[in-house]
């Protein structure tokens, strides 16, 4: 097995903020790997360290065996990073931006056919001679992707590549990223669209407050974290004032007429639940069941670990990841 990305005991602080707290990670060559986590979890910090843009306080990171800080040039040749932030020199055209980036890797006009192919694949050909400042956000994001690929790096890292991108372009980007993966590139992806991660990634790490709280194939994450939970959403004829004690441990949400339960597949019986409700004099008008998905795993491992459950006072705070544990 060839390892593309090897991270050992990686730590990074910003003043009192612990952005990464001793991360270990191995991504295999050719793998499609997802890095998930709430805002402020440390995802971009990790990616910026892999890109050589930020220096870790402790630990090491290697790309295709090259240590990113000690052996920066070799490591940098092996990795293409699409950053989360849209930063460009506004005075260059799209094609110029790509040619300049090519030049950083010692590539001259012989690389032009590849740059044209990238422009074509990312539907930027008609914008090639447009100045960066005249592009929309979604177009700039696509230029960032092309820029990351000018030197055909074996490892491609995408930090929220579909943020602020419309549905049509998002689908186009997914096709393109799938193609890169099919051609043998190792992909490391962060996204807040969990359904994207669920459909694309082979293994997933969930980062929370600078630590990896789960790392496994998505199938095993679903099975081990939630053990085949089934969500049941019940709508009652009248608002619920109390939940029958026999169901108390299974309540995910209880609000107005709606009662949501987490049932364990095999162990809990929906018929029993219906009997308990009937015995309590509760009349149902609707029932809906659904299997747990990656979003449930994510909520359980991040907010759930902090004592929040969905519907029981979600933090609803963009900066919650910045809280420091004592």
Ligand X SMILES: Nc1ncnc2c1ncn2[C@@H]1O[C@H](COP(=O)(O)OP(=O)(O)OP(=O)(O)O)[C@@H](O)[C@H]1O
Residue 72 engages ligand X in binding (rule: CB under 6 A):
no
Q: From the list 10, 27, 36, 43, which residue makes contact with ligand X (rule: CB under 6 A)?
A: 43
Q: From the list 44, 101, 191, 302, which residue makes contact with ligand X (rule: CB under 6 A)?
A: 44
Q: How far is CA 70 from CA 13, 65, 66, 151, in A?
A: 20, 11, 8, 21
Residue 42 engages ligand X in binding (rule: CB under 6 A):
yes
Nearest residue (CB) to Mg ion, 48 versus 102: 48
Supply the minimum distance, in Å, between the C-beta of residue 210 and ligand X.
Answer: 7
Q: Give the Cα separation of 312 and 249 in Å (integer).
A: 13
Residue 44 engages Mg ion in binding (rule: CB under 5 A):
yes
Nearest residue (CB) to ligand X, 52 versus 321: 321
> Please, how many CA atoms are within 13 Å of residue 308, restricted to the half-sphere of its CB?
15
Binding positions for ligand X, 285-324, rule CB under 6 A = 321-322
Q: From the list 39, 136, 224, 312, which residue makes contact with ligand X (rule: CB under 6 A)?
A: 39
Residue 162 engages Mg ion in binding (rule: CB under 5 A):
no
Residue 45 engages Mg ion in binding (rule: CB under 5 A):
no
Residue 48 engages Mg ion in binding (rule: CB under 5 A):
no
Contact between 209 and 178 under an 8 Å Cβ cutoff? The reply is no
Find where tokens 């694309």 sit. Answer: 200
Nearest residue (CB) to Mg ion, 43 versus 142: 43
Supply the minimum distance, in Å, between the C-beta of residue 145 and ligand X.
Answer: 17
Q: How far is CA 286 from CA 9, 30, 108, 293, in A?
A: 50, 46, 65, 22
Spell out the long-range contacts of 144-148 with Cβ–Cβ below 8 A and sequence spacing 24 or more: 144/82, 144/83, 144/86, 145/82, 145/173, 145/176, 146/94, 146/98, 146/115, 146/118, 146/119, 146/122, 147/82, 147/97, 147/98, 147/101, 148/80, 148/81, 148/82
Supply the minimum distance, in Å, between the C-beta of residue 314 and Mg ion.
Answer: 20
Contact between 290 and 230 under an 8 Å Cβ cutoff? The reply is yes
Residue 84 engages Mg ion in binding (rule: CB under 5 A):
yes
Supply the minimum distance, in Å, between the C-beta of residue 193 and Mg ion.
Answer: 14
Q: Contact positions toward ligand X, by CB under 6 A?
A: 14, 17, 19, 37, 39-45, 84, 321-322
Q: Contact positions toward Mg ion, by CB under 5 A?
A: 43-44, 84
């Amino acid at each position: 097995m060839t390892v593309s990305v090897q991270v050992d005991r990686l730590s990074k602080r910003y003043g009192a903020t612990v952005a990464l707290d001793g991360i270990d990670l191995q991504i295999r060559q050719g793998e499609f790997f997802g890095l998930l986590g709430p805002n402020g979890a440390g995802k971009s910090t990790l990616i910026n360290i892999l890109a050589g843009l930020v220096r870790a306080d402790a630990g090491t990171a290697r790309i295709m065996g090259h240590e990113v800080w000690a052996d920066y040039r070799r490591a940098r040749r092996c990795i293409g990073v699409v950053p989360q932030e849209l930063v460009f020199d506004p005075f260059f055209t799209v094609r110029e931006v790509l040619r300049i980036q090519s030049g950083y890797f010692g590539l001259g006009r012989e690389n032009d056919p590849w740059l044209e192919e990238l422009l074509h694949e990312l539907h930027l050909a008609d914008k090639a001679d447009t100045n960066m400042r005249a592009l929309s956000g979604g177009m700039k994001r696509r230029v960032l992707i092309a820029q990351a690929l000018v030197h055909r790096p074996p490892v491609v890292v995408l930090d929220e590549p579909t943020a602020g991108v419309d549905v049509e372009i998002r689908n186009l980007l997914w096709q393109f990223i799938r193609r890169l993966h099919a051609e043998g590139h190792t992909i490391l992806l962060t996204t807040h669209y969990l359904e994207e991660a669920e459909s694309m990634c082979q293994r997933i790490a969930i980062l929370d407050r600078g630590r990896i709280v789960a790392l496994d194939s998505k199938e095993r994450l679903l099975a081990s974290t939630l053990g085949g939970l089934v969500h049941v959403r019940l709508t009652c004829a009248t608002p619920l004032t109390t939940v029958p004690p026999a169901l108390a441990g299974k309540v995910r949400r209880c609000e107005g007429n709606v009662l949501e339960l987490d049932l364990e597949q095999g162990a809990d019986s929906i018929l029993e639940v219906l009997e308990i409700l009937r015995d309590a004099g509760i009349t149902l008008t609707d029932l809906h069941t659904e299997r747990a998905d990656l979003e449930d795993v994510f909520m359980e491992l991040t907010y759930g670990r902090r004592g929040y459950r969905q519907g029981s006072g979600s933090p609803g705070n963009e900066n919650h990841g910045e809280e420091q544990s004592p």
